[in-house]
Chain A
């Protein structure tokens, strides 16, 4: 595997953050972004963006009344 340049590293941001790449490549990118002022902050931002989406889309538990209605269906 040849060494990745910045452009290639940036293209792989989602696969990296999603954990969808093999270990060798993952470690290579990890080392790259730790040292690179161009890619590091961009990766950092995308990571926070994904965390934000997850956080802001949280919902409370299923309403008690709905849950009761569902479980009642099993009794019939």
Chain B
């Protein structure tokens, strides 16, 4: 595959096209690669996905209207390539939701932990101790449907509406997946915090009944 598909380019390619495309790609390549890394969770596959995105973008560059949102256009291509070739076929995955988990899971855990409370500013201590690998690992562990929206919102900074367009799902679905994804992310982050012995005890508060 790869370069041979370029032969199917319809309009004749001018040096000017190539230059404009190079400038556009140059500007967005780093963030596309970051998104590809998080989406595929694997460097080799991320490189493949980036190349596929790059080629698809070049092939359809004649459809791009200068002055419109280049970033959204490129991410649309990235997400399509990802959905076509990298995401598992499962449509709406059955999702184990932590219904007992609220939006403030991590904050509550930190407040309840004697270990953290002993450190003057418990929230600061927790956040400062979470390493890159913890956060990436927590994100990687989310179900695809949640992971995608969290990546697009929290790392790539897209709005609910933009994410709805990128994934072709209703805004309400974006919101529920994002909010549930962030809840699960907090559960994972707390697990990492404990596993790494940042915390010794995870005692439920008196009267809460535990889990």
Contacts and interface: CB of A to CB of B under 8 A. Distances in A.
B193 interface: no
A62 B33 contact: yes
Interface stretch (B22-30, B68-76, B77-85, B88-96): B22-30
A30 to B, nearest CB: 18
A17 to B, nearest CB: 10
Contacts, number: 98
Given A14-B178, A18-B160, A73-B3, A57 B34 contact: yes
A54 B154 contact: yes
Q: Classify the secondary structure of A's interface with B.
A: helix
Interface string A47-76: 011101110111101100011011101101
Interface residues of B, number: 45
B33 A59 contact: yes
B154 A50 contact: yes
Contacts of B3: 73, 76
Contact of B25 (A42, A54, A59, A70): A70
A14 B182 contact: yes
Contacts of A59: 30, 33-34, 37
Interface string B1-33: 011001000000000001001100100011001
Given A14-B182, A74-B21, A61 B30 contact: yes
B155 to A, nearest CB: 5
Contact of B139 (A11, A13, A19, A57): A57
A58 B132 CA distance: 9
Given A70-B25, A73-B6, A76-B3, A45 B155 contact: no
A44 B21 CA distance: 42
11 contacts: A18-B159, A46-B107, A53-B135, A53-B139, A56-B132, A57-B38, A59-B37, A62-B33, A66-B51, A67-B29, A74-B18
